[in-house]
């Protein structure tokens, strides 16, 4: 390179990179990396929000005590059928993942993830207080259970509805595009608008659903304060809200299925529902996994629906993990314990994020 | 287009209409008088048609109350966050995609790890930090935490990686500096990707609930999303159902308009944000 040109390139590549990277790295370091480690640090302390705000030395290092106080108890024992609901599902999950893997119906990552999830679901709910024992925090595990139940209802609900809609609405016509827009629209609303709408929809006195029931001579259900119905109500609102992304992902997945397959299928009389079952479904396996993992990550962080529609009630049946963290930190001022729960949340989310990343990689290869 | 196609569209129009009913109902209730709503919410066609009709709820909303101020806060926070995210993501994304420098690999891995950290895992320490600095109840407190989320950097990095190298090399041979190439050559090319990222960020900022709930405690600094949550718990008594519903419509208007105009970008943005962050 001639000298005069070299002089005009005032900045070397390294200097330019430093200038361009610095703004992001500074913000990233201060507002994400540092808070993350500070969160772990807080979780190792007895840290009262009010006390520390007035006197920064009012915190004491307690090691892993917060984790113990949140997750453990006195005289905890383990039984294979202590909590049969979750444990049987977990056990079946392990068996199913093994069978799916052996028969080659699921990829290794999928089977492994399913197996681990099943194993956890079998092992963890088996712990329970033995004779004379008790949990130190009797609300934590039920809260985790509610969160898993919510995920277990919302994810299949969203996935199946979205898949059927995508299969029906796949196509270039104008009518289909309009229908897709209508189904996607609720996705852009904020959680507070969604809960506003559904709170009044479910209201026993003014709600549209109650109005319909009375029209047909029934008596209205007190959705949001009746045990069992409250969870159903927030699941319904959630499915209505978050169907859009899943539907779009399925539409993208459908584009990758070759038209030739359907033409070949039509020769064998496979059209309509038959074609969906024998051609569409097997070829959507990867998309289904991606959508399911994505939805698990999304819905495990549920907060607004439970906070605004049911307030965690009735009788704690819709209390979810993020809401419990929020209350422990900002109502009870127990930042140490709340941070321990936040770390627990991070570990679960992290596992699914890694799975999501691995799945994303598989597609690129 | 055969007959079964029309049957399919007809059959799907029914669930599509049902899907819209909650939204239609909100809009319809917002145009009905509060004294009527206090008696019944199903005046005409189960309340889905706003008869008796009145625009009073919207007029009251803009005369009294804090909804206009919250709306303005939401605009400031959402636009501010969008600009900040665009600024740091395009620069960092370009550097990571096209420049060679030491420690590039580790920096990319470090940023990837940030994608795993959910908001809920850092909101407590962020709260204590901002409290120590006296930053709560301000616009920048609502903006900054999201600027640190690396999703935008990855979107831009992937985009810049896909641009052919020869454009850049031609400019280098002409003696153009790296920053000039970024500004005059790469940024104009990146407009579609920037648009996607801008919409993703704006939607997130407008709809975010947890962080504003923690950080903004004075009502003057509420966003519309947060303000709406604060009035919906006592909707029937205090302000009247019609007015609360009108607030909900106002809170949704910007994102719905954005969606209807830029539908393709919104869909792309939400799937990109969904699958990668």
Closest Cβ opposite residue A11 in set B175, B178, B233? B178
Same domain, B221 and B146: yes
Predicted pLDDT at A3: 44
Greater confidence, A113 or A321?
A: A321
Q: Average pLDDT in the B91-109 region?
A: 94
pLDDT at A143: 95
In a domain, B217, yes or no: yes
**Domain that includes residue B122, residue range:** 64-276
- Say which residue, B106 or A355, is predicted with more confidence: B106
Same domain? For B118 and B49 the reply is: no
Q: B19 and B90: one domain? A: no
Report yes or no: A181 and B263 within 8 Å, Cβ to Cβ: yes
Put simply, whether B183 touches A (Cβ < 8 Å) is no
Q: Domains of chain A: which residue ranges?
A: 139-333
User: Please, are residues A19 and B179 in contact by the beta-carbon 8 Å criterion?
Assistant: yes
CB contact under 8 Å between B37 and A206, yes or no, is: yes
Between B93 and B4, whose confidence is greater?
Answer: B93
pTM: 0.91
**Residue B236 pLDDT > 80:** no
Q: Is B180 exposed, middle or buried (0-12, 13-18, 19+ CB in 10 A)?
A: middle
Q: Is residue B136 part of a domain?
A: yes
Same domain, B45 and B175: no
| CATH no., domain A139-333 | 1.10.3720.10
Q: What is the DSSP string of A4-50?
A: HHHHH--S-HHHHHHHHHHHHHHHHIIIIIHHHHHHHHHHTEE-BHH
Q: In this structure, what CATH number is given to the domain that contains residue B113?
A: 1.10.3720.10
Q: What is the mean pLDDT of chain B?
A: 89
Q: Answer for the pair B115, B151: CB distance below 8 angstroms, yes or no.
A: yes
Task: Name the minimum distance, in Å, from the CA of A196 to any CA of chain B.
Answer: 6
CB pairs under 8 A between A and B: 277
Residues B39 and B84 in one domain: no
Cβ atoms of B209 and B29 closer than 8 Å: no
Interface test with B, best of A12, A17, A144 (most B CBs within 10 A): A17
Whole-number pLDDT of residue B189 = 92
Say if residue B80 is in the same domain as residue B211.
yes
Same domain, B31 and B99: no
Please name the residue of chain B whose CA is at the shortest distance from the CA of residue A50. B128
Contact flag B203-A249 (C-beta cutoff 8 Å): no
pLDDT band, residue B1 (cuts 50/70/90): low
User: Residue B277 pLDDT > 50, yes or no?
Assistant: no
* Tokens linked to B17: 């209409």
Residues in B closer than 8 angstroms to A27, CB to CB, are 88, 144, 147-148
My answer on whether B164 and B250 are in the same domain is yes
Q: Do B100 and A13 touch (CB under 8 A)?
A: yes
Is residue B59 situated within a structural domain? Answer: no
Which of A200, A275, A302, A309 is the best residue to mutate to test the B interface, defined by the most B CB atoms within 10 Å of its own CB? A200
Same domain for B95 and B193? yes
Q: What percent of chain A has pLDDT over 70?
A: 96
Say yes or no: A27 contacts chain B, CB-CB below 8 A.
yes
pLDDT at residue B274, rounded to an integer: 63
Assess whether B133 and B240 both reside in one domain. Answer: yes
Least confident range from A162-166, A303-307, B164-168: namely B164-168
Give the residue from B54, B72, B87 where a domain finishes.
Answer: B54
pLDDT band of B275, cuts 50, 70, 90: low
In terms of domains, do B103 and B43 share one?
A: no
Rounded to two decimals, the ipTM of the complex is: 0.91
- pLDDT per residue as tens digits for the range A97-130: 999 888 877 777 778 888 888 898 898 888 888 8
Weakest mean pLDDT among A3-7, A17-21, B215-219: A3-7
Considering CB atoms only, which of A10, A21, A212 is closest to B177? A10
> What is the largest distance, in Å, between two alpha-carbon atoms of chain B?
77
- pLDDT recorded at residue B235: 59
In a mutational test of the B interface, the residue from A191, A192, A356 whose CB has the highest number of chain B CBs within 10 Å is: A192
Which of A34, A212, A335 minimises the CB distance to B124?
Answer: A335
B23 shares its domain with B77? no
DSSP string, B178-242: HHHIIIIIIHHHTHHHHHHHHHHHHHHHHH--HHHHHH--SGGG--HHHHHHHHHTTTTTTT-HH
| pLDDT for residue B88 | 97
Chain A nearest C-alpha distance from B124 (Å): 7
Half-sphere exposure of residue B97, counting CA atoms within 13 Å on the CB side? 23
Q: Do A211 and B131 touch (CB under 8 A)?
A: no
Within an 8 Å CB–CB cutoff, is residue A8 touching chain B? yes
* Record: contact B9-A176, CB cut-off 8 A: yes
Q: Which residues does chain A have within 8 Å of residue B260's beta carbon, measured at their own beta carbons?
A: 181
Tell me the average pLDDT of chain A. 88
- Residues 201-260, chain A: which have Cβ within 8 Å of B? 201, 206-208, 211-212, 215, 240, 244-245, 248-249, 252
In this structure, what token pair is assigned to residue B155? Answer: 């979107």
| Long-range contacts of A212-217, Cβ-Cβ distance < 8 Å, separation of 24 or more | A212/B46, A215/B46
Q: Is the pLDDT of residue A365 over 60?
A: no
Closest CA of chain A from B176, distance in Å: 7
């Amino acid at each position: 390179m001639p000298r005069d040109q070299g002089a005009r390139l005032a900045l070397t590549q390294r200097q330019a990179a430093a200038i361009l990277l610095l703004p992001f790295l500074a913000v990233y370091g201060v507002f994400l990396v540092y808070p993350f480690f500070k969160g772990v640090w807080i979780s190792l302390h007895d840290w009262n929000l009010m006390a520390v705000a007035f006197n920064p030395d009012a915190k004491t290092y307690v090691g892993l005590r917060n984790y113990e106080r949140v997750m453990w108890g006195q005289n905890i024992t383990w039984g294979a059928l202590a909590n049969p609901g979750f444990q049987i599902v977990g056990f079946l999950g392990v068996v199913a993942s093994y069978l799916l893997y052996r028969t080659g119906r699921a990829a290794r990552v999928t089977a492994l993830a399913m197996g681990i999830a099943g194993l956890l679901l079998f092992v963890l709910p088996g712990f329970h207080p033995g004779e004379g024992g008790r949990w130190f925090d009797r609300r934590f595990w039920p809260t985790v259970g509610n969160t898993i139940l919510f995920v277990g209802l919302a994810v299949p609900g969203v996935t199946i509805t979205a898949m059927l809609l995508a299969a029906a609405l796949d196509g270039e016509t104008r009518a289909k595009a309009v229908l897709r827009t209508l189904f996607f629209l609720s996705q852009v609303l904020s959680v507070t608008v969604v809960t506003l709408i559904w709170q009044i929809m479910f209201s026993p006195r003014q709600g549209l659903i109650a109005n319909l029931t009375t029209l047909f001579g029934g008596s209205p259900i007190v959705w949001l304060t009746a045990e069992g119905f409250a969870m159903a109500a927030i699941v319904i609102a959630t499915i209505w809200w978050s169907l859009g992304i899943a539907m779009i992902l399925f539409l993208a997945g459908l584009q990758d299925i070759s038209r030739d397959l359907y033409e070949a299928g039509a020769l064998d009389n496979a059209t309509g529902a038959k074609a969906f079952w024998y051609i569409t479904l097997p070829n959507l396996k990867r998309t289904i996994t991606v959508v399911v993992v994505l939805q698990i990550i999304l819905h495990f962080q549920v907060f607004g629906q439970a906070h605004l529609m049911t307030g965690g009630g009735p009788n704690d049946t819709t209390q979810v993990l993020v809401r419990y963290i929020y209350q422990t930190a900002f109502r009870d001022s127990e930042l140490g314990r709340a941070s321990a729960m936040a770390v627990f949340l991070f570990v679960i989310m992290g596992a699914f994020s890694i799975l999501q990343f691995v799945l994303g990689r598989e597609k690129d290869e | 287009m055969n007959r079964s196609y029309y049957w399919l569209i007809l059959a799907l129009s029914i669930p599509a209409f049902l899907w819209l009913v909650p939204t239609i109902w909100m809009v319809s209730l917002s145009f009905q008088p509060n004294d009527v709503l206090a008696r019944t919410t199903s005046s005409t066609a189960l309340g889905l048609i706003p008869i008796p009709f009145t625009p009073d709820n919207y007029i009251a909303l803009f005369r009294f109350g804090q909804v206009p101020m919250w709306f303005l806060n939401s605009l400031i926070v959402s636009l501010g966050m969008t600009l900040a995210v665009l600024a740091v993501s395009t620069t960092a994304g370009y550097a990571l995609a096209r420049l060679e420098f030491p420690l590039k690999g580790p920096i990319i891995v470090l940023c990837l790890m940030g994608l795993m950290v959910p908001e809920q895992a850092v909101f407590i320490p962020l709260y204590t930090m901002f409290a120590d600095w006296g930053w709560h109840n301000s616009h920048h407190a609502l903006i900054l935490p999201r600027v640190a989320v690396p999703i935008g950097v990855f979107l831009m990095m992937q985009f810049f990686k896909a641009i052919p190298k020869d454009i850049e090399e031609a400019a280098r041979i002409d003696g153009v500096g790296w920053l000039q190439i970024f500004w005059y050559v790469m940024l104009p090319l990146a407009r579609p990707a920037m648009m996607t990222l801008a919409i993703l960020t704006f939607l997130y900022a407008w709809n975010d609930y947890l962080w504003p709930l923690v950080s903004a405690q004075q009502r003057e600094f509420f966003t519309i999303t947060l303000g709406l949550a604060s009035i919906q718990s006592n909707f029937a008594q205090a302000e009247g159902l019609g007015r609360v519903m009108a607030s909900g419509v106002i809170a949704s208007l910007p994102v719905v308009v954005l969606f209807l105009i830029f539908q393709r970008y919104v869909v792309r943005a939400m799937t990109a944000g969904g699958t990668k962050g």
